[in-house]
Amino acid sequence: MKSLTTDRLILREWQESDFAAVHDYAKVLENVRFMPFGPNSEEETKAFLVRSIARYADDPMIDYTYAVTIRETGQVIGGCSLTILRKQEASLGWILHRNHWRKGYGTELAGALIRFGFSELKLHRIFASCIADNYGSYRVMERSHMRREAHFIKNRFQRGAWQDEFIYAILQEEWEMMK
């Protein structure tokens, strides 16, 4: 799988040696409170890495999952993925360590995945979802030129309660018009 590079980031394959960095954000509730997992035990983080690394052998590949690293230092600051769900459609997802929030990295990685999805994978539509209270996530989607397509009321059961969910998307033709 090819790495993706932006001005400040490199999105690359996961490695077993990424464990400490992944567990550093996956074990903290504040970091994962809007995610469907966590806080992780060490075993859960190890299992995530094993599953992610194993997916690189899939043929055809449907889950492009990346470690998000700082280009200048190689430091792992999060993870992201583009997952093909049905013909020419994929979902976008990410998590960043809380120490790297509000620095534009989310928008930068989302742009790289969207570009990869439309340019290389020839996708028709890319979408992402988040809990409606997750302001940081939906702002990344908006800054990535995705449009809100839906607001589902109490659609996602998470952390013991029903949560509202937003769905954002962008079509290949919309992305082409912005280039």
- Coil vs helix vs strand at 179: coil
pLDDT at residue 87, rounded to an integer: 84
* Residue ranges for the chain with pLDDT beneath 50: none
d(CA 35, CA 51): 18
Phi and psi at residue 93, to the nearest 5°: -150, 160
pLDDT at residue 116, rounded to an integer: 97
- Coil vs helix vs strand at 146: coil
pLDDT at residue 149, rounded to an integer: 97
Confidence (pTM): 0.95
Of 152, 147, 155, nearest in space to 175 by CA: 147
Question: Tell me, what amino acid is at 98?
Answer: R
Contact 67, 14 (CB under 8 A): yes
- 116-140: pLDDT as tens digits: 999 999 999 999 999 999 999 999 9
Of 60, 120, 128, 119, nearest in space to 90 by CA: 128
pLDDT at residue 25, rounded to an integer: 96
Contact 143, 155 (CB under 8 A): no
pLDDT at residue 127, rounded to an integer: 98
Contact 178, 119 (CB under 8 A): no
pLDDT at residue 178, rounded to an integer: 86
pLDDT at residue 86, rounded to an integer: 87
